[in-house]
C-alpha cells in the first residue's frame, strides 16, 4: 500500500523552477510598462513646453514688429499747396527764318575783278558787293555814247532843214528813227555797264558767298545769298480746331530748343484764310520780337501760344500726382500720417498742375517718397534739398497769405 502511493508522486523540482521564472517575467513586464509610461509623460511635457515657448516667441516677434513699425516712420518730402496764375498752351516747333531772303544772280557776263564783302557782313540797300571787269563795258558804252551824240547832231540839223522845207518828210523820219535807235543803244550800254557792279537789293546780312575773285560768271550764276534778319518769322501748322480760338496780334512765347533758357516774345502776324485739304491744318505765321543776338536764323525753336489762363488757381507740384488709368490721387501730409486723397486735375504748366477739387490752401502734399505709402502710413517730413525754410514755416506763410 505504501509502495503504490510512493510510486505515483509527481516531481516537485521543475514545478518550483517554473513558478519562479513566471514571477520574474511578470516583474520585468511591469517595470518596462512603468518605464514607457514615464518616458511618454516626459516627452509630452517637453513638447508642451516647446509649444509654449514657441508661442511666446511668436507673440514677442509680433509685438516687436508692431513696435518697430511705430518706431520707423517713412521719410518723405512735402510741398505746400499755393495759389497762382497758370495757363494752358498750344505748342508747336518750327525753324526761325528771315522773312526776306534772296539769292543774287549775275545779270551780265564777266570776270570777278573785286570782292567787297564776306559772309556775315552787314550791308545796306544798293551797296556794291562785287565788281566784274569793266573794260569791255566801258568800250561798249563809249561807242554807244558817240553814236548817240552823232545821231543827235544829225537829228537837230534835219529839224532845221525841215523848217526851211529843204528836207522831205521821208528823209526827216529816217534821221529821227536813227537818233531814237542810237539813244536806246546808249541806254542799253549804260545798263550793261551798271550790271558789272553787283549791288544788294535790300539791307541785311550776307549769309552765303558762292563766287571767288577772278571767277568768270555768266548771267544766271548764283553769287550771294542776302537775308534781312528783321523780322524773323516761323511758320507753324495747327489743327483747324486749335485755330478757331486764335486771332492775329496775340502774343506768343518762343524758346530756343538748343537752350531753353533763351526765350523771347513774339506775336501771331497772320493766320491763313484757308485749310489745307490734304492735312486739315492751317498755316499760322509767327513774328519774333527782340530776338537775342545768340539766336541765328534757321534755329529750331519751340512756340507756345496761350490758350487759356486762370489767375487764382490751386497749384501743386507735378511730382505729387500719382496717376492710375483715368484717376489721379495724392498723399496729403496730415499730422505725421499720409492721407490718400483723390483729386481732379486742371491745367498743367511747367512743373505745376492745377487741382480743381480735392485740395485746399494750407495743406501739404507729398512730392517724394510716396511710392511706398498707403492710406494711413506713418511718415516723417524732411525738408526739400533746395528749401531754405521748414515746411511748417512755408505752410504758415501760405496760411497768412490766404488770410490776408
pLDDT value of position 239: 93
- State the average pLDDT over residues 176-201: 89
What does the pLDDT look like over 288-312, one tens digit per residue? Answer: 988 898 898 899 999 999 888 888 8
pLDDT value of position 62: 52
Closest CA to 270 of 297, 292, 252, 291: 252
**Is residue 194 predicted with pLDDT exceeding 60?**
yes
pLDDT value of position 33: 46
Mean pLDDT across the chain, nearest whole number?
79
- State the average pLDDT over residues 269-276: 94
- State the average pLDDT over residues 272-289: 94
pLDDT value of position 102: 92
Looking at per-residue confidence, does 402 or 337 come out higher?
A: 337
Looking at per-residue confidence, does 231 or 45 come out higher?
A: 231
pLDDT value of position 303: 94
Q: Tell me how far apart the terminal alpha carbons of the chain are, to the nearest angstrom.
A: 146
Q: Residue 296, Cβ neighbours under 10 Å: how many? A: 13
Q: Which domains does the chain have, with CATH numbers?
A: 74-86+310-403 (2.40.420.20), 90-98+231-309 (2.40.30.170), 135-195 (1.10.287)
Residue length of the chain:
404
Give the pLDDT band of residue 81 (cuts 50, 70, 90).
confident
Over its C-alpha atoms, the chain yields an Rg (Å, rounded) of 54
- State the average pLDDT over residues 157-186: 88
Residues in CB range of 123: below 8 A, 6 or more apart: 117, 129, 200, 203, 204, 205, 206, 226
Residues in CB range of 107: below 8 A, 6 or more apart: 195, 219
Distance CA 100, CA 110 (A): 28
Distance CA 329, CA 26 (A): 83
Give the pLDDT band of residue 1 (cuts 50, 70, 90).
very low
What does the pLDDT look like over 334-364, one tens digit per residue? Answer: 888 888 888 888 888 888 888 888 888 888 8
Q: Phi/psi zone of residue 386: left (φ > 0), alpha (ψ -120 to 50 degrees), beta?
A: alpha
**Is residue 68 predicted with pLDDT exceeding 50?**
no
Sign of CA dihedral 94, 257, 261, 354: positive
pLDDT value of position 370: 77
**Is residue 79 predicted with pLDDT exceeding 90?**
no
| Least confident among 84-93, 349-358, 374-383 | 374-383
- State the average pLDDT over residues 209-229: 92
Provide the grid cell at 356: 480743381
Give the pLDDT band of residue 217 (cuts 50, 70, 90).
very high
Distance CA 269, CA 233 (A): 9
pLDDT value of position 48: 47
pLDDT value of position 15: 53
Amino acid at each position: 500500500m505504501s509502495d503504490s502511493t510512493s510510486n505515483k508522486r509527481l516531481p516537485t523540482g521543475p514545478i518550483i523552477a517554473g513558478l519562479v521564472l513566471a514571477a520574474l517575467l511578470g516583474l520585468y513586464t511591469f517595470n518596462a510598462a512603468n518605464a514607457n509610461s514615464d518616458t511618454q509623460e516626459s516627452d509630452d511635457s517637453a513638447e508642451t513646453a516647446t509649444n509654449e515657448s514657441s508661442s511666446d516667441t511668436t507673440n514677442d516677434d509680433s509685438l516687436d514688429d508692431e513696435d518697430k513699425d511705430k518706431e520707423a516712420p517713412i521719410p518723405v518730402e512735402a510741398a505746400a499747396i499755393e495759389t497762382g496764375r497758370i495757363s494752358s498752351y498750344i505748342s508747336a516747333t518750327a525753324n526761325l527764318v528771315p522773312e526776306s531772303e534772296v539769292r543774287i544772280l549775275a545779270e551780265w557776263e564777266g570776270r570777278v575783278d573785286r570782292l567787297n564783302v564776306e559772309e556775315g557782313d552787314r550791308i545796306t540797300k544798293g551797296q556794291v558787293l562785287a565788281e566784274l571787269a569793266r573794260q569791255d563795258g566801258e568800250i561798249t558804252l563809249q561807242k554807244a555814247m558817240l553814236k548817240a551824240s552823232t545821231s543827235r547832231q544829225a537829228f537837230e540839223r534835219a529839224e532845221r532843214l525841215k523848217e526851211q522845207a529843204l528836207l522831205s518828210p521821208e528823209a526827216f523820219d529816217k534821221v529821227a528813227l536813227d537818233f531814237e535807235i542810237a539813244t536806246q543803244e546808249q541806254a542799253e550800254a549804260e545798263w550793261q555797264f551798271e550790271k558789272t557792279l553787283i549791288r544788294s537789293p535790300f539791307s541785311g546780312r550776307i549769309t552765303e558767298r558762292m563766287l571767288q575773285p577772278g571767277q568768270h560768271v555768266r548771267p544766271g550764276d548764283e553769287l550771294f545769298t542776302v537775308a534781312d534778319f528783321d523780322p524773323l518769322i516761323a511758320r507753324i501748322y495747327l489743327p483747324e480746331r486749335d485755330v478757331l480760338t486764335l486771332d492775329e496780334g496775340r502774343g506768343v512765347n518762343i524758346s530756343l530748343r538748343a537752350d531753353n533758357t533763351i526765350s523771347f516774345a513774339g506775336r501771331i502776324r497772320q493766320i491763313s484764310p484757308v485749310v489745307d485739304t490734304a492735312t486739315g491744318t492751317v498755316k499760322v505765321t509767327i513774328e519774333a520780337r527782340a530776338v537775342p543776338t545768340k539766336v541765328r536764323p534757321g534755329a529750331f525753336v519751340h512756340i507756345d501760344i496761350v490758350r487759356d489762363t486762370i489767375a487764382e488757381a490751386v497749384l501743386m507740384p507735378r511730382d505729387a500726382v500719382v496717376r492710375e488709368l483715368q484717376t489721379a490721387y495724392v498723399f496729403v501730409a496730415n499730422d505725421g500720417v499720409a492721407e490718400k486723397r483723390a483729386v481732379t486735375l486742371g491745367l498743367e504748366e511747367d512743373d505745376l498742375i492745377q487741382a480743381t477739387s480735392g485740395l485746399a490752401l494750407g495743406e501739404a502734399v507729398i512730392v517724394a517718397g510716396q511710392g511706398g505709402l498707403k492710406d494711413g502710413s506713418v511718415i516723417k517730413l524732411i525738408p526739400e534739398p533746395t528749401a531754405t525754410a521748414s515746411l511748417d514755416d512755408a505752410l504758415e506763410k501760405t496760411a497768412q497769405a490766404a488770410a490776408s
